[in-house]
Structure 1
Amino acid sequence: MAESAVGFLLERLAPVFENKLKLFTGVQAEVIFLKGQLELIRAFLRAADALEESDEELKVWVKQVRDVVHEAEDLLDELELVQVHNHTNGFSIYLSIRNMKARYRIAHELKSINSRMKTISSNRKRFLSKLDSSSEASNSITRGNTWHDQRGDALLLENTDLVGIDRPKKKLIEWLINGCPGRSVISVTGMGGMGKTTLVKKVYDDTEVRKHFKACVWVTVSQSCKIEELLKDLAQKLFSEIRRPIPEGMESMCSDRLKMIIKELLQGKRYLVVFGDVWHMYEWEAVKYALPNNNCCSRIMITTRRSDLAFTSSVESNGKAYNLQPLKEDEAWDLFCRNTFRGDSCPSYLIDICKYILRKCEGLPLAIVAISGVLATKDKRRIDEWDMICRTLGAEIHGNGKLDSFKTVLNLSFNDLPYHLKYCFLYLSIFPQDYLIQRMRLIRLWIAEGFIEAKEGKTKEDVADDYLKELLNRNLIQVAGTTSDGRVKTVRIHDLLREIIVLKSKDQNFASIVKEQSGAWPEKIRRLSVHGILPYWQQHRSVSQLRSLLIFGVGELVSLGKLFPSGFKLLSVLDYQDAPLKKFPLVVIDLYHLRYLSLRNTKVKMVPGHIIGKLHNLETLDLKGTSVRELPVDILKIQKLRHLLVYQFKVKGHAQFHSKHGLKAPTEIGNLKSLQKLCFVEANQDRGMIIRQLGELTQLRRLGILKLREEDAMDFCLSIERLTNLHALSVASEGENKVIDLTFLCSPPPFLQRLYLSGRLQELPSWIQSLHGLARLFLKWSCLNYDPLVYLQDLPNLAHLELLQVYNGDTLHFMCGKFKKLKVLGIDKFDGLKQVTVEKDAMPCLERLSIGRCELLKKIPSGIENLTKLKVLEFFDMPDELMKTICPHGPGKDHCKVLHIPDVYSTYWRDGGWDVYALDSFSRDCSARSGTVMRSHEPRIQWKV
C-alpha cells in the first residue's frame, strides 16, 4: 500500500510542475527534492509491500514511508488553501500576516519532511539485500513451500472429503472428451479459495480422462512466474510423461528454442496440459503457440482468478469457460459439519451460531474448511467461546495462526493488484457488511478521492468503470444487481474478504470505521466511516487531516461543527445518504476541497446560495430523494460540477404512475460546461431559455427534462443535436395530453442507449429506428393510431421495452424473428387492445412479460407458449375473465400454455399499494382475490435515466 500512496502523491505533484499551483520561494526546491526521493523509493516498494507482513523491521520502514507521504499530501492541499485565500479574501493586514505565517509553517514542515525522507531513503539501502534474498524466498514460497501447501493438500483430498464437486466435474469431463477436433482451451475461474484447483485435479485424475489423452501434464504457474522457467517446467514434465531423456543444455535454452521443442514433442499427439493458477494474460500468450493445434482433440485447461483471462483464452480457441460457483447451502453445511464435528452432528444449541458463521463463509470452500478447523479445537460445551468467534470473526482472522493460510490465499489477489487498483479496492472497506454498493456512487466516490486519472479519449468515469470491471474480472468483487439491459447496477464484496480488507485498511491507516462508542481511533484519521452511531465520546478529537466522512444508518445526527469543533478543512467527500438530516449542512462553507456532497434521501428542502457558490471544486451534488425543488443561481459558480441529481419519484396510484418531481434550475445552466448528468430539469420556465442553454452542455451523458412545452420543440431538438455524448435521454411533456414533438431532430445522439418519452406523439420519431445501440425504450401516453411495433421490431440491441398507453388499436402483433434481443416487455393501459399475438421465434430471449390495465383483453397472448425463455409473467389490474383462463380448476383452457413459466403473478393496486398473488394462490379462487403474497408501495417499474 505504500507503493500506492507514493504513486498517488507523484500524480498529485504533477500540477505543481505544470505551474497549476504556484510555489513561493524556498518551496519549489523542496518539492523537487521530494519528488526525486519518492521516485527512488517507489522503484522497490512493491516488493517491500508484499513482504512487510513477514518482516517487522521492513513493516516499520514501509509505515514511515506511508506516513511521510500522507503528511506531504496534506501540506500540498494546505498550500493550495493558502493561495486561494490570498486571491479571494481581498487585502487586509491581518489576512496578509496570517497567510505569511501559514506559508512559513508549510515551508518549514516541508523541509522537515524532506529531512525525514532523506533518512528513510538512506535506510532503504539496508533493505536492498534483504529484499533480494526475500524475493527468492518469495518465489519459492509461491511455488509451493507455504501457501501452496494448502493447494497441495487440496490435490491429495479423497473423494469422500469433497462436496459439491460431482456436477462441475461431470461437465468439465464432457467438455474435455467431446467437442471440436482442434485444440481448445477449457478455463475454470472463480475467486481465491473457491476450489478451482481441487476440482480440476479430480478431473485430471479421472480414469476416463487419462484413457482419452496420450500425454497429460500439470504445470503450476507461480504469481512471480518467469516465462523461461515456466517453459522449462513444461518441457521437463513432457519428456518425463513420454519417457524420453531430457536434452543436454536445456537449462540454458532461450524461450523460443524451448517452444520449438515442446511443439515437436506434442505434434501428432492427443495431449492434455493443465496450467494451474494463471495470473496474467502474458503468461498464457507466452505458451499458447508452443502447444500445437494438431486436430487430435487436444485440450488445455487453465485455472485462474481472472474471468477476462478465462473468457479470452477459451473464446479464441472455440473452448469453454466454467465460472465455479459457491457451494449450495446444504453442501456448505455438510462440509462444515464434516470438518467441525468430525462426523458427528452439530449440537442443537450450537446450530444458530454455526449457521451464522457459515453464512459469513458464503459457500467459499477454503473459508469453510479453515474456520471449521478452528472451531474443531473448541470445547463444544463452552457456548461462550463459540459465540465469541461468531462476534469477532474479523479479529479471529487477524490473530489465529490456523487461518493464516486462508488469509494468505486471499491476500495474494490483493498483492497482485497494480497500485492504482489497490486504493480503489481498499475503499470498499468503508461500506457496512452486506451493503449493496451502487455502481455509479462508487465511481463518483473514487473520482472525488482522486483515485482516478483521466486518460486520453476517456473521461474519469470511463476510466473508473474500467477499474471496476478489472476488479470484477479478478473476482475480488461480485455483481449484486444488474439493469434490464445488462449494465452492472450494484456490487458487493464477500464477507470474509471484506473482513480482511477492513483489517488491512486499519493497519495501513487508510480508513477508520466506527460502529460503537468504545474503541480507539488512530492518531491521524484520513477517512471516517460511521456505521449506526455517531462517536460522541470523540468530540474533541482533532480530525484536521480528515479527507472523507461517510455516514451509514445513523438514527440521530449531531451538527458536525459540534462533533468536530476543530474542523476538517481538507475534506473532499461528505456523504449523508439516507441520514436523518433536515437542513443543508452549513459546515461545508469552509470546505474548499470538497468534491463530493451527497444528501440523497434526506429531508433537506433548500440549498443556500451563499454556501453552495463557495464549493468551487465540487464535482458531484446528489440531492435525489430530497425536497429540494429549486437551485440558487450561485450554483453556476461551480464550474467543475459533473453530476447534478435533483429529483424525487412520486407514486399516487395509476394517474401519476412513474411521475417525478424535478427542479427549477438557473436560466444560465449552460455555464456548467463540465456537467455529465443533469436530472431532472423543469423546462417550462423563462420562456424556454433553459432549453436553448442545454445545447451548451456538450459533455452531458444523461439528461432528464420535465414539462417540455410544445412550442419549445424545435429549440429542444437543436440543443439535443449538439449533445453528441448523450447516452440516456428522458423527456416528459407538461401533462398526459400534451404533445412531445421530436420530428425536428435530424441527427440524434449517436451513442444513445436509453430513451424515455412521456407525452403524446403525433408520430413516432423516424430516427428511433436508426439507434442501433438503443437498449431501453420507454414510451408513455403516446396514443398512436398505428402499431408502433413495426418500427421498433428491428432494433438490434433493444433489451427492455415499456409501452404505457401508447397505441389505440385492438391488436398487437409480434412477428417471427423480430425483437431478437428483447428480455423485458411491459404493456400497460391499451384501452382498445383485444388481442396479442406472438408468432414462433418472435422475442426468443424474452424473460419477463408484464401486461396491465387492458380492460378489453380477455385472453392471454396467443402463442405465449412460444416464449420458451419466459421466467416471469405478470398481470396487473387485469379483468377476471382473463385470469380465469389460466386457473387450473377454472373454466379456462389456457392453463397448460403457461405451465413452462416459473413465476406467474396477478397484481392489483389497492389503497395506495400493490396486492400480489401468485398463480398457486389465485388458482384456488378464480376471482383472483385470495392468497395475498406481498404488499408493496413501490412502483412496478421505475423510469430512470
Structure 2
Amino acid sequence: MVDAVVTVLLEKLLKALSEESRILVEFRDQFEKLKNELQLMQSFLKEAERLKRKNEVLRSIMGNLRELIYEAEDILADCQLQVKDDDPLSSGWLTCIRPSKLPFQYQTGKRLMEINEKISEIKNNISSYLGVPDMNRSGGMVDPNNDQMPRWSSPVYDHTQVVGLEGDTRKIKDWLFEAEHDILAIGVVGMGGLGKTTLAQTVFNHRVIEDHYERRIWVSVSQTFTEEQILRSMLRNLGDASVGDDNCELSRKIKQYLLGKRYIIVMDDVWSLDVTWWRRIYEALPKGNGNSIIITTRIEEVAQRMGVVEARVHRPKCLSKDDSWLLFRKVAFAATGGICNYRELESVGEEIVEKCKGLPLAIKAVGGIMLCKPQRYQEWRRIANHFRDELAENDNSVMASLQLSYDELPSYLKSCFLCLSIYPEDCVITRDQLVHWWIGEGFFPLRNGRPVVEAGEDCFSGLTNRCLLEVVDKTYYGTINTCKIHDMVRDLVMRIAKDDAFFKQDYSNCRHLGIQNSMVERHFMANKKLRALLSTTKTGEVNKVSPNVAKRFCESRYLRAMDLSRSIFETPLTGLLNHIGFLRHLTYLSLSSTHPLVQLPPSMEKLSNLLILDLSYCQNLKTLPTYIVTFKKLRVLDVSHCGSLEYLPKGLGRLSQLEVLWGFRPAKSSQSEGCRIGELRNLLGLRKLGLQLTGGDEIGYTEMDALVDLQELQHLTISCFDSNDEEVATKLDQLPPPKQLHELSLHFYPGKFSPTWLSPISLPMLTYLSISSGNLAKMKESFWGNDDSVWRIEGLMMENLSDLGVEWPRVQQVMPSLRIVNASWCPELASFPIDDVGFRGGVWKREEHAS
C-alpha cells in the first residue's frame, strides 16, 4: 500500500507548501524536492504494488520506500509542532533562530537530505523493474482526477437483497416446522463464499420464523473461540450481560431462559472437529417444544459430529447463470435500479460473471468494483482482463475477485480497508470508530473545503458499496451503524496488512494495534512506530487493561489515533492520562464507556491537534475543563449519555471548525461558567447536533434564533429526557431549526402538541423524521401543511407514543414520498397498514414504484 501512504504524504506536503507564511525557509527546498520526486513516482506505484506480490526484491524495495515515507511524514509533523511552540506572533517556521532550536534544525535538514537521496535511488530501481525508460519526466505524473473521492448521493446496493435462495429457504423452513420432541439439528455445508451465512440469516430473520420461535440465538463461531465466549454470546442474545460467571453458571442461566420456550440457535461458521464444547452445551439445553439448531460449516464432518443426520444436511449449490447475472446487475447497476443501459457493458459483465462460477461473494465483490467505475467499455474491459490475470494465478474465484477488488481501490481506500485487519474474527465494528480513525490518520484527501466527517462517511460507503463490508445493524431508514467482514475478506486483509507492516498478529514492528485482553507490556516496549491504538472488543465485552500495559499507552510519540472505549482499568484512568500530553500528534481520542473517568487531566491541554474527542457514555464525568474551547481544530465533540455532566464550558462557540456536536447541554442562567445555547450561532459549519434540554431556563428569550442560521445543519436530535418543566415545550416551540434540515429526531418531547415549526413549510427539505416517547398527543394544524405544500419525508418512525392519535390516510396524503414507516407502541394510531398487531408495533415498507 505504498501508493496509499505516498498519497497521504503528498496531500499534507501540498497543503504545507501552499501556506507560504508557515514554511521553514531552511527546509522548503528539501520538502519541495520530496514532493516532486513522489509526484513523478505516483502513477507507477499502483503497478509496482501489484507486481511486488511476485517479486521478492521489488517487495523489499517498496517496503523501504514505505518506511521512508512514514519517516518523512513524522518529520513534517514535528516541524508543524515546532511552529506551535514558537512565538505565536512569528510569521514563519522558526524564523527566529534560537540556540535551543539549532539541533532540531541541523538534524532535520540532514535527515531530509538523506531521505531524498534514498527515494531518488528507489525511484530509479522501481523504473528499471517496471521497464519505464525515464521516470524523471512529467509524463509520469498521476492524473489527479483518477483518485478523487466520489460523493455517494445516488442510490447504492441494498445489502438486504438476496438472489436465488427461495428454494433453499423454503426447504430449511419446512424442516424446521417438522421439529417435535427432541432438538432438530440442521447442517448447511459448503465452500467459502457460497452464501451459507446469508442463507441462515434469511431463514433466521424471516417473519414466520420470528413468529414461530419465542427465543432466537445467533452465535458467530470464530476459529479461535472458547467455550466461555460461546456461552456469553448466547446469553447476550437473551439479553443478559453475564459478567463474572463461570461456565457452569452461564449454562444454568441459558437453560433458565430457554426452559419451556420454543427456541432456535444458529452456530455460524464452525471449523473445529473437536466438538466436546458443543456436547457440554447441548446437554444443558432444554429439550422438546420443537426446538431447532442450524449449523453452518465448510467441513461436513463438523456437522456430523454436532449431531446432524444426513437427511438434514443442506448443501447449497452455486447460483445459476440467470441468478448470477441478476445478482451482478443488482450490485453493479445499483445506481440505475439494477438496469444496464449499455449493451456493450452487458457482454463484458456476462463474461466477468461467468468467471465467478456462481459464487455469490465473488459476484458481489466484482459487481462492487463495477458500481464504483465509470460505465465505459474500455474501463470494463480492463477490469475483465485484470480478473482473468488474477484467476490465472489463483483458481479460487472468490479470492481472485477480492484481490482484484483491493487492487482496484483508490489509494486512500486501501489504507481505510487495511484498518479492518486489527479487528478479531467476527468482531462487530462501528462505522463511527472507523470514520474517526481514518480522519485521525488523514487517510483520505480533503479538497475544496469539504467537511471532513462527510468525506470519511463517503469512504465508509465506498467500502460497503464494493461489498468489502457486511452490514450488521442500520437505522430504520438505512444508514449503516455497524458492520463486520467475511472471513475470506479477512484472510486477504490480514495477509496484505502483514506484508505492509500495517498490522501483525504478533504485535511486532507494526503501526496499528487493537487493544485486547491478551496484550502484555512487551508488545509496546520496542514499538515506537505506533500510529493507532484502538479498542477492538467484541459486542458486549470490555477490555480489562493491566497497569503495566496501560502505562505504555502514552509512550508512542507519533500516535495519531487512540481509542480506549469500553475499557476497564485496574488503576485510575485519570492517572494514566496524566502523561497523555506527550502525544502531541494525537488527532483522535476516544474515552467512550471507560471506567472510571471522573475528570480530564490538565495534561490534555497540550493536545492542540485534536480533531475528534469522544467522551460518550462516561456516566461519572462531571465537568469538562475550560481548555476544551482552545482546541481550534476540533471537528467532532461527543459528550452524549454523560449523565453526570451538567453543562459544557463557556466559550464553546469559538470552535468554529466543529462539524458534529452530540450531547450539548446548555447552561442555566445561574451557571455562569457554562455555555449558553446562544453560542451555537457561531458554529456555522455544524452539520450534526444533539441537544439535551431539561428546563426552560436553558433557553433565553434572546436565544430563540440560536439554530435557525446554521445553514450547514442537516441532522438535529432534541432530547428532553428527565424534563418536568412545562416551559421547555413553550421555549422549544420558539426555537426553529434551519429550513434545510434533512433529519430530525425528537425524544421525550414534553408538549401535548407538536412544535409550530414542525411543518412542511418551515422544514421543506426534511427527509427523515423520528418521534419517540414523551407526551405528544396531537399534531398542530401546521404539521399538515396546505394545498401548496406537502412533506418530502421518505422515512418516518413513531415509537412509544401512547397518546398520539393520528389517522393513517391523512399521513399518507401529506407525505406522498413516504417509503419506510417504523411504528411501535402507538395504540392510538388509526387505520395503520399492519395487520394483527393491534397498531402497537410493526414495520411497513413500500417500494418506490408503488402507488
Q: Does TM, scored on the shorter chain, surpass 0.5?
A: yes
The change in CA–CA distance for 1:318 and 1:752 in structure 2 (over 3 A counts) is same
Aligned to 1:569: 557
- Counterpart check, 1:532 vs 2:520: no
Match of 1:797 in 2: 793
**2:43 aligned partner:** 43
Q: Which amino acid aligns with 2:651?
A: E
Q: In 2, are the aligned partners of 1:718 and 1:745 still within 8 Å (CA)? A: yes
Name the CA shift for 1:723/1:366 in 2 (closer, same or farther; >3 Å).
Answer: closer
**1:446 to partner: Cα distance:** 0.8
Of residues 807, 811, 814 in structure 2, which corresponds to 1:813?
807
How many angstroms apart in 2 are the aligned matches of 1:787 and 1:468?
37
Separation in 2, partners of 1:312, 1:805: 38
Between 1:635-644 and 1:12-21, the stretch displaced more is 12-21
Supply the distance in 1 between the matched residues of 2:330 and 2:796 (Cα, whole angstroms): 30
Cα deviation 1:880-921 (Å, max 9, x = unaligned): xxxxxxxxxxxxxxxxxxxxxxxxxxxxxxxxxxxxxxxxxx
Between 698-707 and 725-734, the greater mean CA deviation after superposition:
725-734
Aligned counterpart, 2:689: 702
Native 8 Å contact 2:558 2:583 kept in 1: yes
Deviation at 1:13, TM superposition (A): 0.6
Q: Quick one: distance in 2 between partners of 1:634 and 1:166?
A: 57
Rate the CA distance shift 1:663–1:792 in 2: closer, same or farther, 3 A. farther
CA contact (8 A) 1:695 1:720 kept: yes
Give the aligned partner of residue 451 of structure 1: 443
Change (3 A) 1:714 1:131: farther
Task: State the alpha-carbon separation in 2 of the partners of residues 313 and 682 from structure 1.
Answer: 43
Alignment CA distance shift 1:787-1:569 (3 Å):
closer
Deviation string 1:664-709 (CA, Å, 9 cap, x unpaired) is: 2112221121222222233242458612112112222223222241
Q: Which amino acid aligns with 1:34?
A: L
Conserved 8 A contact 1:759-1:782 = yes
2:479 is aligned with 1:490: no
Match of 1:54? Answer: 54
Give the residue type in structure 2 aligned to 1:511: F
Q: What does residue 544 of structure 2 align with? A: 555
**Structure 1, unaligned stretches of length 5 or more?**
133-163, 171-190, 196-297, 325-361, 368-400, 514-518, 650-659, 850-859, 872-945
1:212-253 CA distances to partner (integer Å, 9 max, x unpaired)?
A: xxxxxxxxxxxxxxxxxxxxxxxxxxxxxxxxxxxxxxxxxx
Query: What is the rounded CA distance, in whole Å, between the counterparts of 1:538 and 1:169 in structure 2?
Result: 47
Q: Provide the aligned C-alpha RMSD in A.
A: 4.2
Q: Give the corresponding residue for 2:573.
A: 583
Q: How does 1:829-840 map to 2 (within 5 A)?
A: 837-838=830-831
Q: CA offsets, 1:600-635, max 9 Å, x none?
A: 111143333622322111111111111213111111
Pair 814,449 (structure 1): closer, same or farther in 2 beyond 3 Å: same
Of 626, 633, 636, the residue aligned with 2:629 is: 636
Correspondence for 2:27: 27
> What is the DSSP-based 3-state SS (H/G/I as helix, E as strand, rest coil) of the residue aligned with 1:490?
strand
Match of 2:427 among 424, 429, 435: 435
CA pair 318-410 structure 1, distance change in 2 beyond 3 A? closer
Query: Are the counterparts in 1 of residues 593 and 616 from structure 2 also a CA contact under 8 Å?
Result: yes
| Deviation for aligned residue 1:304 | 4.6
- Classify the secondary structure of the residue corresponding to 1:815: helix
CA gap 1:439/1:365 in 2 versus in 1, 3 angstroms: closer
Q: How much does 1:714 deviate? A: 3.7
Counterpart amino acid of residue 5 in structure 1: V
**Cα 1:192–1:473 shift into 2, 3 Å:** farther
Say whether residues 1:312 and 2:336 are aligned partners: yes
Match of 2:203 in 1: none
Q: Residue 416 and residue 575 in structure 1: after superposition, are their counterparts in 2 closer, same or farther (change >3 A)?
A: same
Percent identity, aligned pairs only?
22
Higher RCO (Cα < 8 Å, 6 or more apart): 2
Q: Residues 747 and 759 (structure 1 numbering): CA distance in 2 closer, same or farther, change over 3 Å?
A: closer
Per-residue CA deviation, residues 412-436 of structure 1 (Å, 9 max, x unaligned), is 1100111111111111112222122
| Match of residue 683, structure 1, among 666, 679, 694 | 666
- Runs (5+) with no aligned partner, structure 2: 135-162, 170-190, 196-321, 350-358, 365-392, 538-542, 847-851
SS in 1 for 2:472: strand
Q: Which stretch of the first structure deviates more once superposed, 1-10 or 682-691? A: 682-691
Cα distance in 1, alignment partners of residues 719 and 165 from structure 2? 53
CA shift digits 1:139-193 (9 cap, x unpaired): xxxxxxxxxxxxxxxxxxxxxxxxx9685999xxxxxxxxxxxxxxxxxxxx996
Q: What is the TM-score normalised by the length of structure 1?
A: 0.57
1:60 Cα deviation after fit: 2.1
Quote the residue 2:679 is aligned against: 693
Alignment of 1:199-598 (within 5 A): 304=328, 307-312=331-336, 314-315=338-339, 407-456=399-448, 458-513=450-505, 519=506, 521-522=508-509, 525-538=510-523, 540-543=525-528, 545-553=529-537, 554-558=543-547, 562-563=551-552, 567-581=555-569, 582-584=572-574, 585-598=577-590
Separation in 2, partners of 1:675, 1:789: 36
Which amino acid in the other structure matches residue 645 of structure 1?
D
Partner of 2:158: none
Change (3 A) 1:796 1:602: same
Alignment check: 8 A CA contact 2:568 2:596 kept: no
8 Å contact kept, 1:847–1:870: no
Q: 1:646 to 1:599 in 2, by over 3 A?
A: same
TM-score (norm 2): 0.63
Residues 496 and 69 of structure 1, relative CA distance in 2, 3 Å threshold: same
CA distance in 1, matches of 2:843, 2:791: 21
- For residue 643 of structure 1, report the CA deviation from its aligned partner: 1.5
Over 3 Å counting, the alpha-carbon distance change for 1:406 and 1:780 in structure 2 is: closer
Contact 2:593–2:617 (CA<8 Å) still a contact in 1? yes
Alpha-carbon shift at residue 798 of structure 1 (Å): 5.3
Measured after TM superposition, the shift of residue 69 of structure 1 is: 1.4
Matched, 1:719 2:706: yes
Local SS of the residue matching 2:130: helix
SS of corresponding position for 1:113: helix
Which structure is larger by alpha-carbon Rg, 1 or 2? 1
Amino acid at match of 1:753: E
Q: Which amino acid aligns with 1:695?
A: R
Contact (CA 8 Å) 2:519, 2:549: kept in 1 or not? no
Paired residues in the alignment total 598
Q: Which residue of 2 aligns with 1:764?
A: 754
C-alpha distance in 2 between matches for 1:861 and 1:733:
25
Query: How far apart, CA to CA, are the structure 2 residues paired with 1:363 and 1:781?
Result: 45
Q: Is the 8 A contact 1:756 1:779 kept in 2?
A: yes
* More off after superposition, 426-435 vs 17-26: 17-26
Pairwise CA distance, 1:9: 1.3
Secondary structure, counterpart of 1:413 in structure 2: helix
